[in-house]
Amino acid sequence: MGKPLVLLLLVFWLFLAYRALRKAPEAPEAPGARIPLPGIVLVAAGLLAYLLGTGGSEIFTMRTGFVLTWLGTAWWIGGAGLGQLLIVPTLFLFFSIPIPAVIYYNVAVPLQTFAAIAASTVLQGVGVPVARDGNTLLLPGVALEVADACSGIRSLTVLLALGALWAYLEKGSVVRRILLFAGTVPLAVLGNAVRVSITVLGVYLFGTWFAEGAAHEATGLVVFLVTLGGLFVLSRVFRTARP
């Protein structure tokens, strides 16, 4: 995950943490008032996950252990009131943890294939002479591979965080919030397919420079625009729907 995306997730986390801490009790619970069992369990689970991840060189497990330990420590020291308030901000930290490689590649390849199929189908429909060979799109004299970086899985992580934030702040029933969050996935996949289509069309019309450097990076904004626009439409539909 790139540094800009990590910084964006950090901004989300700081916002939620600040929002939660504003509701925190002014005085923490007196030590010994109650046994902070959830905090103790979370710290123990976090330390165990960290040790297992370190022993197995598994980064996902190690970082998961750190997040659990952090929440458990806050719950243990600050009491149940503070611990419960920090659950949602802490869950957001999981979006910053890279998913395991075995899951990453099992998801990335189908996303690459879908983007290639969608782009070739749409562009052929509007008259662009493009053919598809696996995950490679063939234009006259140019071959464009829908590579791992173009699968959209990296932006999907941030967009899931954004969808979770939107659903958390959205008014309405729990079911509507869950549906809004779940809608982030198809919207992000659709946005990535649109991005690939625009890139191929740009190469066909303007040349290979359109798939390189700043121009290629700029097309990444399309994924966010499509997803944000779709979330806005979904939220409006849910607000106007009957409860």
Interval 44-90: pLDDT, tens = 999 999 998 888 778 888 889 988 998 898 888 877 777 888 888 88
For residues 166-176, give the mean pLDDT.
84
Dist CA 207 CA 142 (whole Å)? 9
The pLDDT value given to residue 4: 65
For residues 174-178, give the mean pLDDT.
87
The pLDDT value given to residue 9: 76
The contacts found for 41-45 with CB under 8 angstroms, 24 or more apart, are: 41/72, 42/68, 42/69, 42/71, 42/72, 42/75, 42/76, 43/68, 43/69, 43/72, 43/73, 43/76, 44/72, 45/72
CA 234 from centre of chain: 18
Confidence of residue 99 (pLDDT cuts 50, 70, 90): confident
Q: Quote the percentage of the chain above a pLDDT of 90.
A: 24
Confidence of residue 122 (pLDDT cuts 50, 70, 90): very high
Dist CA 155 CA 96 (whole Å)? 12
29-38, 141-150, 153-162, 201-210 — which one is most confidently predicted on average?
Answer: 201-210
Give me the torsion for CA of 98, 101, 104, 109, rounded to 10°.
150
Tell the burial category of 137 from Cβ atoms under 10 Å away from its Cβ (0-12, 13-18, 19+).
Answer: buried
